[in-house]
Amino acid sequence: MDELLTNLRSTIADEIFSKTEKRTFKSLLAEHTLNSQQVDFLRSKIYALAEEHINAHNYNFMLEWVKNANSALVPREQETSEAYFSPGDACRNVIIHEIDSAIKQLHICVFTISDDSITESLLQAHKRGVNIKIETDNDKSFDLGSDIKQLVHAGIPIRMDATPNHMHHKFMIVDQCAVITGSYNWTRSAARYNHENILLSRDPGMVKIFSSQFEKLWNEMKNY
Which residues are the active-site residues?
168, 170, 175
Residue 61: HSE in the Cβ half-sphere, 13 Å Cα cutoff: 15
User: ω into residue 204 within 30 of 0, thus cis?
Assistant: no
Q: Contact at 8 Å (CB) between 83 and 49?
A: no
C-alpha radius of gyration, the chain, whole number: 18
Give the rounded distance of the alpha carbon of 18 from its chain centre: 25
**Which among 185, 123, 110 is positioned nearest to 151, based on CA atoms?**
123
Q: Contact at 8 Å (CB) between 182 and 196?
A: yes
**Which among 42, 24, 20 is positioned nearest to 33, based on CA atoms?**
42
Alpha helices (H) in the chain, listed in sequence order: 2-13, 19-31, 36-53, 59-73, 90-101, 116-127, 148-153, 188-192, 204-220
